[in-house]
Structure 1
């Protein structure tokens, strides 16, 4: 099995984390119809548990469509402000079941843990109280983005697991 050098893995995971943070949180603020596209397609683990695993402030969300519906139909207007994020490679040799994966030289056969902290205001953002949040997200490479050379640009990384918590 080819191993990607640690410096390339660090650069790739950092770029993936930055790209994710720079697109996901603005979508929560204003492009809620796109939220489901940030998640891997619904699947089951070998033990039958569903993927992706989504926990929003202690509530289990069954799938990406339900997460999008929650934000579109139940959540008030929101303004997320990311203060800090960090990332770590969890699995440097990830290949999705039934997929051949990216070329090992691409550095994209990995799972990445991103921890994010910041503030959010719900409701009328001019009058709302700012609340802290903390979030842990596991990203996997999007197998459909492999070799995508035409059409709409695809997200290169998708959420496999997410745990969001308001902290204050």
Structure 2
């Protein structure tokens, strides 16, 4: 059973985790692609604009073939999900923004849903366990 105090703690945990994730992950997509696999669990289920990918290492390899990028996050929202017996929770994160690839001047919209799961033994450090990314039709 949850209480208002427990719910508030879970919401704060989700909000803090989402903010830290957004502030580090999207700059890594733009400028530090070699670090991408560290954001993922090895068995992360990823769908990136219709491409199914299993695991952070495979995603990093896939993304390395992409042209340079500039992601601009315009909004995000997080919700605690899947609270475990220890009171730790995963986080569902919804992100929207725009992205530019390569030398193109065209910015395209994107939407993304990410499930962040806490690392075992460290409930304040999260990694991606599932991700769905889609470019918005232009």
TM over 0.5: yes
Give the secondary structure class of the aligned counterpart of 2:42.
Answer: coil
Q: 2:89 aligned to 94, 102, 110, which one?
A: 110
Aligned residue number for residue 45 of structure 1: none
Contact 2:118 2:127 in 1 (8 A): yes
Aligned residue number for residue 99 of structure 2: 120
Residues 2 and 133 (structure 1 numbering): CA distance in 2 closer, same or farther, change over 3 Å?
A: closer
> How many angstroms does 1:62 deviate by?
2.3
Give the secondary structure class of the aligned counterpart of 2:59.
Answer: helix
- For the residues of structure 1 that align with 2:120 and 2:34, how far apart are their CA atoms? 22
Q: TM-score, normalized by length of structure 2?
A: 0.90
Return the index of the structure with the highest Cα Rg: 1
Q: Does structure 1 residue 16 correspond to structure 2 residue 17?
A: yes
Q: Does structure 1 residue 157 correspond to structure 2 residue 132?
A: no
Structure 2's unaligned 5+ residue stretches are none
Spell out structure 1 runs of 4+ moving beyond 4 A: 1-4
Q: TM-score, normalized by length of structure 1?
A: 0.75
Name the count of aligned residue pairs. 136
Structure 1's unaligned 5+ residue stretches are 43-51, 95-103, 147-154
Contact 2:30 2:68 in 1 (8 A): yes
**Which has the larger share of strand?**
2
Aligned residue number for residue 120 of structure 2: 143
RMSD of equivalent CA atoms: 2.0
Aligned residue number for residue 40 of structure 1: 41
Aligned residue number for residue 58 of structure 1: 50
Residues 39 and 57 (structure 1 numbering): CA distance in 2 closer, same or farther, change over 3 Å?
A: same
